[in-house]
Amino acid sequence: MNDYKINGCNGICNKGCGRQDKQLNVFDWLVDVPGNIDETDYVEVQFKNTRKGYYLNSNKIPLQKDDIVAVEASPGHDIGTVTLTGSLVLLQMKKARVKSDAEVRRVYRKAREVDMEKYYEAKAKEQDTMIRSRQIAKSLGLSMKIGDVEYQGDGNKAIFYYIADGRVDFRQLIKVLAEVFRVRIEMKQIGARQEAGRIGGIGPCGRELCCATWITNFISVSTGAARFQDISMNPQKLAGQCAKLKCCMNYEVDVYVEAMKRFPARDITLETLDNTYYHFKSDILKREITYSTDKSFAANLVTISARRAFEVINLNKKGVKPESLLEDGVQEEPQRIDLLDQDSVTRFDNAKKKKKKKKPAGRSVGGNQNREPKRPAESNETQG
């Protein structure tokens, strides 16, 4: 941890950057500014997974990034890690829309050994509590799934994170959980994407899930983003591990929407002397458009540039039909497409089986001299 550096940043110390292993981490680009820490008494404290808060250091405790502190909670105290100090905290509070007149809780002290013992003891019960709470919710017939449990640092309170399709009446559940675990219960509903971020995993791109690394605000994703990028409308490919549309479909959709403005409308048909061509697909990055002679499936595909498509459209408006869509007037051979090729399991297997050559039968130098002569078939008849 202490040897962590950022390449190309002139050796910025780890107090400013730290290890970016949590999605709520913020790079402190004001860490080297003199007097930055003394600008404000507010600090940012992060807890388990996606929960963090802003606390007032009223006791003027010298705090730095990664310090473990005990902060005010209701009831008791909680244990968290300082993730940000200085004037950048005020900007983060403004981004999180923390009201200035809101009651801000305080930082009590740096965590002691006794505090850490209670903290680890409480954290050790989270897995068993989650399994037991799921069984209780199932016995009560509630249509909900408890995805995670977080104990407060002193063990006096537990937050149960759950997902549900609709509204759930969990009043009876809270009573049962309070009697079983002897703690104060707080129920918090989260979405499917937030649950995937708390659990984590590896996406189809081979990297860790975006919701588990850096995404904090989830933006709704629609199938329109897939249509703009000409992505196959296959639910199994569009859905992520949370069973919702993949968040990464929103990353480049603005670029595609802007590029589509320089393409002709898809409902415009191109007329030639021989055929009528309908839009089949567009390659935004290559600025190419593929047309088909049939409106419903791929037939006699011809690929031309967007500039050539506008030229043909202008000719059609004047009542002129070119001989071919291609500029040189030579019609290219129709492209044959195997519609099942993309769904083939062995489409990446290019290895061909090598035919084994038959070995010639071994022959001795002396021909058949070393072979034993065939014995005549024995006869059951006796000679007289």
The answer to whether position 207 is within a domain reads: yes
- Where does a domain end: 83, 111, 139? 111
Average pLDDT value for residue range 322-330: 74
The answer to whether position 197 is within a domain reads: no
Number of separate domains in the chain: 4
Q: Is the pLDDT of residue 378 over 70?
A: no
The answer to whether position 50 is within a domain reads: yes
The pLDDT tens digits of the residues spanning 166-223 come to 888 888 999 999 999 999 999 998 888 888 888 888 988 899 888 888 887 788 898 8
Q: What pLDDT is attached to residue 1?
A: 40
| Domain of 218, in residue numbers | 203-260
∠ CA 143-148-152, rounded to 5°: 125
Q: What pLDDT is attached to residue 12?
A: 42
CATH number at residue 172: 3.30.300.20
For residues 72 and 2, the model is more confident at 72
Question: Residue 116: which of 74, 158, 69, 178 has the closest Cα?
Answer: 69
- Where does a domain end: 151, 168, 190? 190
Claim to verify: residue 2 and residue 96 sit in the same structural domain = yes
- Where does a domain end: 78, 93, 111? 111
The answer to whether position 368 is within a domain reads: no
Q: Is the pLDDT of residue 63 over 80?
A: yes
Q: The tokens 């588990």 sit on which residue? A: 212
Q: What pLDDT is attached to residue 157?
A: 92
Claim to verify: residue 67 and residue 126 sit in the same structural domain = no
The answer to whether position 383 is within a domain reads: no
The answer to whether position 317 is within a domain reads: yes
Claim to verify: residue 107 and residue 14 sit in the same structural domain = yes
Claim to verify: residue 222 and residue 136 sit in the same structural domain = no
Q: Is the pLDDT of residue 228 over 70?
A: yes
Residue 142 near residue 130, CB atoms below 8 Å: no
The string of DSSP letters for 140-203 reads TT---EEEEEEE-TTSSEEEEEEE-SS----HHHHHHHHHHH-SEEEEEE--HHHHHHHH--B-
Claim to verify: residue 233 and residue 273 sit in the same structural domain = no
What is the Cα–Cα distance from 111 to 47, expressed in whole angstroms?
14
What is the Cα–Cα distance from 129 to 378, expressed in whole angstroms?
88
Give the burial string for 208-230 (b: 16+ CB within 10 Å, else e): ebbbbeebeeeeebeeebbebbe
Residue 354, token pair as written in the block: 């090598």
What is the Cα–Cα distance from 66 to 16, expressed in whole angstroms?
11
